[in-house]
Amino acid sequence: MKLIRIGVLGCGNVGAPLVSLIAQQQAAIEARTGVRLEVVSVAVRNLSKERDISLPEGMLTRDAMAVVNDPTIDVIVERMAEAGEVDVMDALAFRLPVQVIGELVGVPPSDRDQFRVLVRNAAAALEPGVTDTQLDAAEHAMAVMDDYFRGLIARRRRDLDHDLTSALIAARDGDDRLTEDEMVATLILLFSAGFETTTNLIGNGLLCLLRNPDQFDRLRADPALVDSAVEEMLRFESPVQVDARTAFEPVEIDGHTITTGETVVTFLGAANRDPAVFPDPDRFDVTRHPNHPLSFAAGIHYCLGANLARLEGRVVFDRLTRRFADIAWLDNGPDWRGTLILRGVNHLNVAVTPKEGTTR
Ligand code: HEM
């Protein structure tokens, strides 16, 4: 039987569930393809820890500040004001993060929209109970993204730019450069993780405010609360609910021994409601302090984009509360996507009432 080794980049919100999914589905995959898969995890923080190839210091955050603070968000919010009634998921929650990560990675505006469906289809393969049809769609989505990023790399090789794709091409460890496959995998991970989760932070966060109008009023009355409000949104409706860790050595947790090589599935959303850590955990409180949710995980694979996601969240909720006197929820209840690992809604329809005399 043919053996294929897969290096899973990130081994976090993308990688870990994928590894356990492959383990669960090993027999079915073998029967389906005649191929035996062996998964090896590769960390992405410095692209490859063994080779220590890293991006220019602070590139993600420094360039992100410029992109998030450019007129992009104002244009989006003004369009919402003009429309009056919008699906926030389309108009804002997807729109802003995909523009930000698109600018950073170097994906031109006209190419970005296609990734909404592609990333969603690819991420569906991470869910437990994935069907054959979903696996087919996920395979197809990965193939399209693979082709796309190979094309982008080829264009940048001819003509380097000031984006992450160009930085990856230039990155080297001594004489060693990243291989084409490493670059493609890294770009797919960065681009997908860069908007899908942040889309859900914005959607879930607004949902928290709409379901807790007293907290929405507090934030409007005191916009300086935006930082702690975003942290509470991350805690209360964690965009990534499930993650995993594999023990490199025996670990004792609460009377249980995890042996070397054993994988523990960590329910981040549940940990964020642990009453021993968060008093009255089912209360959404924009002033909660201290508040250190595990939504970006912890340790060596702590989310690479955590600061960028927080920045986007702050900018969004700052502008929404300053620009609109009221945001009224038009749905009869949350339209949850029904996914376990990535938590978010399909649609979030609202009517917005701009504040008199404000344009931003
Ligand atoms: C609210 C938004 C986000 C949430 C909730 C989130 C959550 C997470 C979580 C839980 C992990 C798993 C780490 C692990 O345990 O292995 C992770 C990893 C990762 N995230 Fe995020 N993320 C968000 C936004 C972003 C953004 C904007 C980017 C890119 C710009 C990004 C890039 C990554 C990467 C590359 C990893 C892998 C890190 C590693 O394994 O070293 N994420 N994220």
* Start-to-end CA span in the chain (Å): 62
Among 15-24, 89-98, 150-159, the least confident range: 15-24
Distances (CA, A) of 119 to 213, 290, 316, 335: 32, 34, 22, 19
Whole-number pLDDT of residue 55: 59
Whole-number pLDDT of residue 148: 97
Whole-number pLDDT of residue 183: 86
Is residue 75 a part of any domain in this protein?
yes
Whole-number pLDDT of residue 247: 83
Whole-number pLDDT of residue 302: 86
- The pLDDT-based confidence of 237 (bands split at 50, 70, 90) is very high
Is residue 338 a part of any domain in this protein?
yes
Instruction: Give the angle subtended at the CA of 204 by the CAs of 59 and 349, to the nearest 5°.
Output: 115
Between 140 and 58, name the one with better pLDDT.
140
Is residue 51 a part of any domain in this protein?
no
Both tokens of 338, joined, read: 């029904």
Q: Whose CA is nearest to atom 34 of ligand 1?
A: 304
Whole-number pLDDT of residue 51: 41
Among 63-77, 101-115, 268-282, 329-343, the least confident range: 63-77
Is residue 49 a part of any domain in this protein?
no
Measured CA to CA, the distance from residue 139 to residue 150 in angstroms comes to 16
Between 48 and 38, name the one with better pLDDT.
38
Per the DSSP assignment, residues forming a β-bridge with 245 are 264
Whole-number pLDDT of residue 163: 87
Whole-number pLDDT of residue 40: 47
SS3 267: strand
Which domain range does residue 230 map to? 2-42+58-354
Q: What percent of the chain has pLDDT over 70?
A: 81
Whole-number pLDDT of residue 116: 93
Q: Which atom of ligand 1 is nearest to the CA of 239?
A: 5
pLDDT beyond 90 at 210: yes
Q: Is 272 in the pocket of ligand 1 (CB under 6 A)?
A: no
Is residue 81 a part of any domain in this protein?
yes
Q: Whose CA is nearest to atom 25 of ligand 1?
A: 305
DSSP state of 249: S
pLDDT beyond 80 at 65: no
Report whether 68 contacts 315 (CB < 8 A): yes
Whole-number pLDDT of residue 230: 98
Whole-number pLDDT of residue 359: 56
Whole-number pLDDT of residue 44: 35
Q: Ligand 1: which of 8, 9, 13 to mutate, judged by most atoms within 8 Å of the beta carbon?
A: 13
pLDDT beyond 50 at 10: no
- The pLDDT-based confidence of 178 (bands split at 50, 70, 90) is confident
Q: Is 44 in the pocket of ligand 1 (CB under 6 A)?
A: yes
Is residue 253 a part of any domain in this protein?
yes
Whole-number pLDDT of residue 21: 59
pLDDT beyond 90 at 286: yes
- The pLDDT-based confidence of 8 (bands split at 50, 70, 90) is very low
Q: Whose CA is nearest to atom 14 of ligand 1?
A: 12
Indicate which CATH number applies to the domain containing 280: 1.10.630.10
Report whether 305 contacts 60 (CB < 8 A): yes
Is residue 50 a part of any domain in this protein?
no
Whole-number pLDDT of residue 134: 83
Whole-number pLDDT of residue 49: 38
Between 150 and 39, name the one with better pLDDT.
150
Instruction: Supply the mean pLDDT for the chain.
Output: 84
Is residue 138 a part of any domain in this protein?
yes
Tally of structural domains, the chain:
1
Span 78-101, mean pLDDT? 95
Span 74-95, mean pLDDT? 96
pLDDT beyond 50 at 47: no
DSSP H helices in the chain: 15-33, 59-68, 72-83, 88, 95-105, 109-112, 114-124, 132-158, 164-170, 180-211, 213-221, 226-236, 268-271, 306-323
Measured CA to CA, the distance from residue 142 to residue 123 in angstroms comes to 10
Span 117-127, mean pLDDT? 86
The pTM score is 0.86
Q: Which atom of ligand 1 is nearest to the CA of 240?
A: 5
- The pLDDT-based confidence of 56 (bands split at 50, 70, 90) is low
